[in-house]
Amino acid sequence: MPIHTIFRPTALVFAVAVIGTGVSRAQLPGVSSAPAPSRNSQDSTPRIPASMGPQGNQYLGSIPSGEATNEVIDLTIADAMARAVQYNLALAETGEDIREQRAERLRALSRLLPDITARPSVSEQQINLAAFGFTGFPGVPSVVGPFSIYDARAYLNQSIFNLQDLRNHRAAREQVAAAEFMARDVREQVALISSGLYLIALAGSSRVDAQRAQVATAEAVYKQASDRRAAGTVPGIDVLRAQVEFQSEQQRLIYYEGEFEKQKLNLARAIGLPPGQQVRLTDHMRYEPVPPVIPIEPILATAYKQRADYQAAEASVRAAELARSAAVAGRYPTATLDANYGVIGPVPDHMHGTFAVSGTVNIPIFQGGRVQADVERADAELRRRRAEFADLRSRIDADVRTALTDLRSSSRQVEVAVKNVDLAKEQLQQSQDRFAAGVTNNLEVVQAQQAVALANENYIAALYSYAAAQSALVRARGDAEKSITEYLRRTK
């Protein structure tokens, strides 16, 4: 099977690789049966389209290992990545693809190695000499036999010179190298996706915590309004308004708790946890401002040097070049050696050694256009591989620049979101004080509560986008498995 039909880089991987949370980016799990109660703003919970769910994407599946326990186990992002690269379904299937390519290499190698067989035989024969024109010889019967022939013989067939087979073998070796590089690239993508699923679950956990705080605040405002209504200082509409807000916040909390559980399930599926195993996420998303200027040339140089998909594309081009030269070699002469040695006789006790050795040179003269057709097909394949290689080089450049842009943008968003959260909390405190003092009704308090909730949501989304941009950058650079944990943990 051609290497490009197995190991073509998959756009789906990058679509689910948590490059961000914007509308232009695909979103990871989980999908909800109903939208969250609206705050008059777009819900930024990362999701994955139903058509790209775990049932249709091998990167979100795994081979479960072990038995579920009754205990809740702690899970770090490093643990999640380590399990993913061991049990993820995409890597398991990639391993089988490598075995297929190695089998093709062995098949190509077998055409260069000697073919040795042993063939012991015994036969009983009777020959009609008259049928071959041997008649009229005195004393010679027209029918000879029956008689026995015992023959034990070894045969050797060896290709002495076949440039086409030699180049096909070299092309097969390059295809194996491309397959192995792509396996490394799949491992990188699995690390990226598993860390992305972990980040999504962390964002879900943060939303649950923030929403619980919102519920507590709404409950306090509701009790305050009820107490003041009992004292006769506020009208009943204030109590009703506070109660509606309190119950709305409870409804949002139920939604976010359900989303968080599904996000943990998606993570568990991707990293091979046993079904039903409960986990506790122990890492946290943190933030560290990025430098104002990040040189791009060193990152690009590193990416071209160590990205496995780039190395696989180079190997695929080399394989296509060798396959073309092998097709051209179909016009060249070939030389083979055939030999056999054995013993033969009428009975096992009366056998004598015999042998035969022959060398053959096959010189193609007219092949009906077959070689030209092979060359044309190999040319087309080579042009395709070169075009894909050029496109990949350009895509790597775009990946790096996009990741740096996202990193700078998300860093600034986090800084603004932090300030906005502080301002929204101060606004809420002042509105509560004004309500307690009887200066205003609690409509202002409810609006301030919603502002705090929106500010918290924007902060969580910005922090998630920042962490995802860091992951995307190390993926674009080509060392995601080694560097993602370091990047995400070194922030403070």
Residue ranges per domain, the chain?
Answer: 3-490
Cis peptide before 204 (omega within 30 of 0): no
Largest CA distance in the chain: 146
How far apart are alpha carbons 122 and 102 in whole angstroms?
Answer: 40
Cis peptide before 146 (omega within 30 of 0): yes
pLDDT by residue, tens only, the chain of 492 residues: 343 333 333 333 333 344 333 323 333 333 333 445 555 444 444 444 333 344 447 788 888 888 888 899 999 888 898 899 888 888 888 888 899 999 999 999 999 999 999 999 999 988 888 888 887 777 778 888 888 899 999 999 999 999 999 999 999 999 999 999 999 999 899 988 998 899 999 999 999 999 999 999 999 888 988 988 888 888 888 889 889 999 999 999 999 999 999 999 999 999 999 998 999 998 887 788 888 788 999 999 999 999 999 999 999 999 999 999 999 999 999 999 999 999 999 888 888 999 999 999 999 998 888 999 999 999 999 999 999 999 999 999 999 999 999 999 999 999 999 999 999 999 989 988 888 888 878 788 888 988 999 999 999 999 999 988 888 898 999 888 888 777 665 443
Amino acid identity, residue 468? Answer: A
Amino acid identity, residue 454? Answer: L
How far apart are alpha carbons 365 and 303 in whole angstroms?
Answer: 49
Judge contact between 188 and 14, C-beta under 8 A: no
pTM attached to this predicted model: 0.76
How far apart are alpha carbons 474 and 485 in whole angstroms?
Answer: 10
Long-range pairs, 485-490, Cβ under 8 A, ≥24: 485/77, 485/78, 485/81, 485/195, 488/77, 488/195, 488/199, 488/283, 488/285, 488/286, 489/77, 489/283, 490/288
Judge contact between 424 and 458, C-beta under 8 A: no
Give the homologous superfamily in CATH for domain 3-490.
Answer: Outer membrane efflux proteins (OEP) (1.20.1600.10)
